[in-house]
């Protein structure tokens, strides 16, 4: 429940960030924290710091049976990555490090023993780290490339039993992103 409150808080702050006088941009990310593809808003916290953050909306489409413990044949859905990051370097070339969390709502498809297709709604959360390179001009093109080590964050149901949600082992996803700073 705390994650939902955090996401609502960050979404409420978004309009204020859009009018601020600091570096900010939008980018399209393939793989990484987006799992498949996502659109993210990124901003520095003020115009005198290398600290910043991002919030995004991502679509996931996977045929991997490792995504959930129940090994679905197909998983698709939406996730909401949120991260804090730090840029190392001067000018347009930076090393980027960050840490974040992504909450997702998924539809999983299976075939039962009789061959009928079964669909199940699932949700889950995973934590990730951004480790990469970022080319970023004050106004103009932004390019990001790197890796996202990530791990599922376990949770418990109302009876205290482990409810795995996203139940994949630690993974490392590559990512590439292109965007625009305004």
Q: What is the pLDDT of residue 118?
A: 85
Q: What digits encode the pLDDT tens for the residues 21-46?
A: 678 999 999 999 998 999 999 999 98
Express as a percent the part of the chain with pLDDT over 90. Answer: 48
The mean of the pLDDT values for the chain is 84
Residue 7 CB partners (closer than 8 Å, separation 6+): 55, 80, 82, 103
Convert the pLDDT of each residue in 68-115 to its tens digit.
555 568 889 999 999 999 999 999 999 999 999 999 998 888 777 888
Is the separation of the CB atoms in 147 and 131 below 8 Å?
A: yes
pLDDT score of 54: 97
Find the helix or strand (DSSP H, E) in which 10 lies. helix 2-18
Query: In terms of CATH architecture, what is 2-181?
Result: Beta Barrel (2.40)
pLDDT top residue among 148 and 68: 148
For residue 66, pLDDT over 60 is answered with no
Q: What is the pLDDT of residue 34?
A: 93
pLDDT at position 156 is 53
pLDDT at 175: 98
According to the model, what pLDDT value does residue 108 have? 84
Output the CA–CA distances (angstroms, integers) from residue 52 to 31, 76, 78, 99, 181, in the order listed. 21, 29, 24, 11, 13
Cβ proximity of 55 and 82 under 8 Å: yes
Predicted TM-score (pTM) of this structure: 0.80
Pairing of strands 24-31, 155-156: unpaired
């Amino acid at each position: 429940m705390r994650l939902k409150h955090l996401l609502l808080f960050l979404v409420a702050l978004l309009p204020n960030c859009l009018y601020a006088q600091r570096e900010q941009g939008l980018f399209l990310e393939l793989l990484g924290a987006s799992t498949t593809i996502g659109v993210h808003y990124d901003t520095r916290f003020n115009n005198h710091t290398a600290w910043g953050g991002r919030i995004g909306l991502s679509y996931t489409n996977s045929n991997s049976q490792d995504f959930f413990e129940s090994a679905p044949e197909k998983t698709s859905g939406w996730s909401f990555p949120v991260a804090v990051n730090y840029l190392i370097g001067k000018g347009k070339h930076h090393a980027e490090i960050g840490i974040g969390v992504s909450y997702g709502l998924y539809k999983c498809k299976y075939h039962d023993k009789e061959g009928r297709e079964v669909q199940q709604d699932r949700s889950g959360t995973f934590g990730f780290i951004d480790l990469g390179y970022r080319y970023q001009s004050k106004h103009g093109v932004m390019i990001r490339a790197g890796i996202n080590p990530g791990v599922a964050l376990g949770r418990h149901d109302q009876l205290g039993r482990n409810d795995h949600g996203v139940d994949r082992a630690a993974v490392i996803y590559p990512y590439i992103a292109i965007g625009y700073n305004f």
